[in-house]
């Protein structure tokens, strides 16, 4: 009988008839780790021994036989995720693990997880009534976790990436018509946060980007006024706080239209009046443009809930703040603004994202391409293309001195405490005086 090779281990049969094989694997060059493989026949175990040794030679040291998917996913959420993604994303991963993955796959051994298990997970979630988007998010979380396991050599392949994902039906988001957009602008006129709603619609800013704007982010350059989108206001388990933008493409400088400049000018007067009235209670350390009635950061979620109230009161029905962003893009494309310009305005990571979401709104652009080619072929290229130019803001009026604000102006502009989407119940850095 030939002698076993280095690391091959032994093969034996248990009393219950199951065959067991051991594999000795080097872990750090000095100590060795023992792995067990199982099978119904001796030949099956011998094959699995050779497979384990082959993977070990490539640097893949499979997960311990008894390590379950639940144990690994929970350690991944606790030890691997923090610091690699945004705090909000980390919470979404943790929720997906406990809500969708562990109940169905938690008992499975990590080393034995297969594409069929992932398929069964998605089928189970569908049976429970979860939407295609939720099922896709559950699979994406598992794929991200197994990618880390694959990098660490705990698994030899990412079964979540191999398994087919759910098909998510495409939904074309609603968009305000030009008439509805004008109705909305009229409805927010005089609102305490009028300028915030105007920026959300005219620039397509996300709610966190709107609320994260500072007065120092406004700049007059040449013959136009610019707003620099540099940070966002988020709410997580720590409360409301300023945070970096998600991608580099989200950092952008956008020209302001005249309606936006006028709204900001009125808002500045209103905020200075509020500062006078609140006195020592006023606290706006970050010089935010949009604050509560005492100067503290606004709650993004509460701010978002004010939009449907305004649109319903204006007779437009229920519209969300994200649909204002979608409407901005759709209206710009309807005015034949180039797709790459719209992508830059929205802060998309690439023009492909914009095309995937709004490409169906570009049939006119394709027709123009055909017409341009016709002119080239037929020699009728003397007509130059029509250019579009949006009016640019001149500048905001000079800052009003706080002590120059008259009392009638104060009574007109100052918001009443408790009636704005403030940070009620959240810890803020300033003393209430």
For 89, residues 6+ apart whose C-beta sits below 8 A from its C-beta are none
At residue 191, φ and ψ (nearest 5 deg) are -65, 150
Tokens of 375: 């002119």
18 falls in which pLDDT band (50, 70, 90)?
confident
Distance CA 151, CA 283 (A): 47
CB 342 within 8 A of CB 329: yes
Burial of 222 (0-12, 13-18, 19+ CB in 10 A): exposed
- Fold that domain 178-413 belongs to in CATH: hpI Integrase; Chain A (1.10.443)
Tokens of 211: 């609320």
Residue 412 has pLDDT above 50, yes or no: yes
- Max Cα distance, the chain (Å): 104
Q: Look at residue 93 in the predicted model and tell me its pLDDT.
A: 94
Residue 107 has pLDDT above 90, yes or no: yes
Task: Kindly report, residue by residue over 248-269, the tens digit of the pLDDT.
Answer: 778 899 999 889 999 999 999 9
Domain residues of the chain, as ranges?
Answer: 11-57, 69-162, 178-413
- DSSP structure string for 338-368: -HHHHHHHHT-SSHHHHHHHHGGG-HHHHHH
Residue 273 has pLDDT above 90, yes or no: yes
Beta-bridge partners for 234: 241
Q: What's the whole-number mean pLDDT along residues 95-116?
A: 93
379: left (phi over 0), alpha (psi -120 to 50) or beta: left
CATH 1.10.150.130 for domain 69-162, yes or no, is yes
Q: Look at residue 191 in the predicted model and tell me its pLDDT.
A: 94
Q: Look at residue 214 in the predicted model and tell me its pLDDT.
A: 95
CA 127 to chain centre: 27
Q: Look at residue 309 in the predicted model and tell me its pLDDT.
A: 95
How is residue 120 annotated by DSSP? H
Q: What's the whole-number mean pLDDT along residues 2-20?
A: 69
Task: Kindly report, residue by residue over 69-90, the tens digit of the pLDDT.
Answer: 999 999 899 888 988 887 778 8
3-state SS assignment for residue 184 = helix
192 or 430: which leads in pLDDT:
192
Q: Look at residue 348 in the predicted model and tell me its pLDDT.
A: 84
366 falls in which pLDDT band (50, 70, 90)?
low
Q: What's the whole-number mean pLDDT along residues 7-13?
A: 72
Residue 106 has pLDDT above 90, yes or no: yes
Residue 28 has pLDDT above 60, yes or no: no
379 or 175: which leads in pLDDT:
175
Q: What is the pTM of this model?
A: 0.65
Task: Kindly report, residue by residue over 140-193, the tens digit of the pLDDT.
Answer: 999 999 998 887 777 878 999 998 888 766 666 678 888 999 999 999 999 999
> 194: number of CA atoms within 13 Å, CB side?
23
Task: Kindly report, residue by residue over 308-357, the tens digit of the pLDDT.
Answer: 999 999 999 999 999 999 888 888 887 878 888 888 888 887 777 777 77
């Amino acid at each position: 009988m030939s002698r076993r090779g280095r690391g091959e281990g032994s093969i034996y049969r248990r009393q219950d008839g199951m065959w067991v094989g051991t594999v000795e694997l080097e872990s750090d060059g000095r100590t060795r780790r023992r792995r067990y493989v199982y099978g119904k026949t001796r030949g099956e175990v011998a094959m699995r021994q050779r497979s384990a040794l082959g993977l070990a030679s490539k640097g893949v040291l499979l997960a311990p036989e008894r390590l379950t998917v639940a144990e690994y996913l929970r350690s991944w959420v606790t030890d691997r995720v923090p610091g690699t993604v945004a705090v909000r994303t980390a919470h979404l991963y943790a929720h997906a693990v406990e809500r969708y993955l562990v109940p169905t796959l938690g008992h499975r051994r990590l080393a034995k997880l297969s594409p069929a298990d992932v398929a069964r997970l998605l089928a189970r979630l569908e049976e429970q009534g979860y939407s295609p988007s939720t099922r896709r998010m559950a699979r994406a979380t598992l794929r991200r976790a197994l990618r880390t396991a694959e990098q660490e050599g705990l698994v030899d392949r990412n079964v979540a990436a191999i398994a087919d994902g759910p098909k998510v039906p495409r939904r074309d988001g609603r968009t305000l018509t030009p008439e509805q957009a004008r109705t909305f602008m009229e409805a927010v006129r005089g609102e305490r946060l009028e300028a915030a709603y105007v920026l959300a619609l005219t620039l397509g800013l996300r709610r966190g980007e709107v609320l994260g704007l500072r007065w120092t982010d406004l700049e007059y350059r040449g013959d136009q006024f610019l707003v620099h989108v540099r940070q966002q206001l988020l709410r997580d388990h720590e409360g409301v706080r300023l945070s970096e933008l998600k991608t580099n493409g989200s950092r952008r400088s956008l020209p302001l239209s005249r309606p936006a400049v006028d709204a900001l000018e009125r808002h500045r007067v209103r905020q200075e009046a509020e500062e006078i009235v609140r006195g020592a209670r006023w606290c706006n350390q970050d010089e935010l443009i949009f604050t509560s009635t005492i100067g503290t950061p606004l709650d993004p979620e509460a701010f978002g809930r004010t939009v449907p109230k305004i649109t319903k009161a204006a007779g437009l029905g229920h519209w969300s703040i994200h649909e204002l962003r979608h409407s901005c893009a759709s209206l710009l494309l309807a005015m034949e603004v180039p797709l790459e310009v719209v992508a830059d305005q929205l802060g998309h990571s690439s023009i492909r994202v914009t095309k995937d979401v709004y490409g169906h709104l570009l049939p006119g652009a394709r027709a123009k391409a055909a017409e341009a080619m016709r002119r080239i072929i037929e020699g009728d290229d003397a007509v130059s293309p029509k250019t579009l130019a949006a009016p640019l803001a001149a500048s905001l009026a000079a800052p009003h001195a706080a002590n120059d604000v008259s009392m009638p102006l104060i009574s007109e502009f100052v918001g009443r405490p408790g009636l704005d989407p403030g940070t009620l119940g959240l810890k803020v850095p300033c003393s209430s005086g």
